[in-house]
Structure 1
Amino acid sequence: MSADLIRSFTPDLQIRSAAKGGDGRTVEGIAVPYARPQRIDSTLVEQFARGAFAHQLRAPNRVRFTREHMVHGGALIGRAIELRDDAAGLWGAWRVSATPAGDETLTLLEDGVLDELSIGFRARQDRRLEDGTIERVRADLVEVSVVLAGAYGRGALVSAVREAVHDELPDAPVCTCGAANRAAQAAQILAGLPTLPVA
C-alpha cells in the first residue's frame, strides 16, 4: 500500500450564493491542475495526467474536505459533493458543514485569508516523462484541504468568494493584493494549531 502524499495548489475557488444555486456553504474550484509540472523537492518534479482521479468521479462523497490536512492535525469541515474532469484539472464542489471549524474556514475564504488547496492522495500508477518529470497517471484522492500555503503556490488562486449573506454584491471579486498581510493575519488566527510553524 502506498503512503498518502500531499500536494497543494492555488485554485480559483468560489462559494456558491443562493442566487447561484447554492447556500453560501458550497466551495467550488479546481483542486488539481493537469499537465502542470511542479518541483516538489530537489529530486522530484511531478504533474498529474488528466483522468488520474477518473475512477472516483462517481463517488465524490467519499472524498473529505478539511482545513489543513488531517495527518497534520487539521479539522474535517465537509465533503466533496461533485468531482469532474475539466481541461484545466480536477474540478470539485465541496459542502462545508455548519460547525465552528467550517464557519471559521468560510469566513477566512471570504476574506481572502485562505485561498489555497492541497490534496492528499495515494499514487497508483506513474510514468517518467522524457524530461524526468513524474506524471501521476492514476491516483486515489484521499482528501482536499484548504491550507495557508501549498506546494503549488499561486498555481490555483481564489478568484471570487460569494455567499448568500452578501446579496447586494453577489459577484464582487476578492482582492488578491496584500498577500503578505493575509498570510500574517492567517498565521495569527491559526497560531493555536500545533502543526503550523512559527515564522
Structure 2
Amino acid sequence: MTISDPVTDRRVFRPTVLDLGDATLRPWGRALDVPGGVVPALVAASRDPAVARWSPLGGTGPVVPETYLDRCEERWAAGTAASFAVLDAADGSLCGNVYLGWTDREDGVAMIGYWLVAAARGRGLASRAATAVTRWAVEHADVRRVELYHAVANADSCRVAERAGFPYEGTLRGSYTYGGGVYVDEHLHARLASDPFPD
C-alpha cells in the first residue's frame, strides 16, 4: 500500500508549454521538433563558448545528447525537474534552455538555471523565460523558494537574475566546478513565492 503525502503530492512538475510571444518553452525530449533535429541542435549549443564555459551541458567531456534528453524525460515523468527548450516562435530554432528542479521538495525549495545560444542573446529572453518558469512553478507545483546560482565571473547571468526578480543573497566560496576541475565562488540569488514578479 502506498501512503500519500499531501505536501509532496502537490509538488510535482507536469509537462506544459509556456508562451512568451516571441519564444515558446517546450519540455525537452527526443520528440521535440527543432529544425534540423533535436540532437544536432543540442550538439551545436554545447559548442557555443559561453554555454560550454558556464553550463553543465558543456560539462567535462563531449555532450551525449541522447543521454541528456533521456534524463530530461525521466525527470519530467517523475515530476522532479522541469527542463524546457526555449524555441524561437517564428522559426522553431533552439534559443536555449531553462531548468528547474527540486533541491528540497518537502520544504518547497527548487533551483533554476538557464543558458542561451549566441543568436538569442541581447533581447531579455533569459530573464523572461526564467520569470515564466518560476511563476509556473509557484502557481502549479507549490514552489515556496527558488534559488539561482552562478559563477561570480559570469556577469551576464547576474544581470539575468536581477532582471528576473532574484535578489542577491550572498557569495558561496569554492562551491562549484564548471567543468574545469577548479572550484569557483558563486553568487546566490533567490526569490520567494510571495515576492512580486517583475513586469
TM-score, with structure 2 as normaliser? 0.31
More strand per residue: 1
User: Which one has a larger percent helix, Structure 1 or Structure 2?
Assistant: 2
User: Could you say which structure has the greater relative contact order, defined with CA pairs below 8 angstroms and 6 or more residues apart?
Assistant: 1
Normalising to structure 1: TM-score of the pair? 0.31
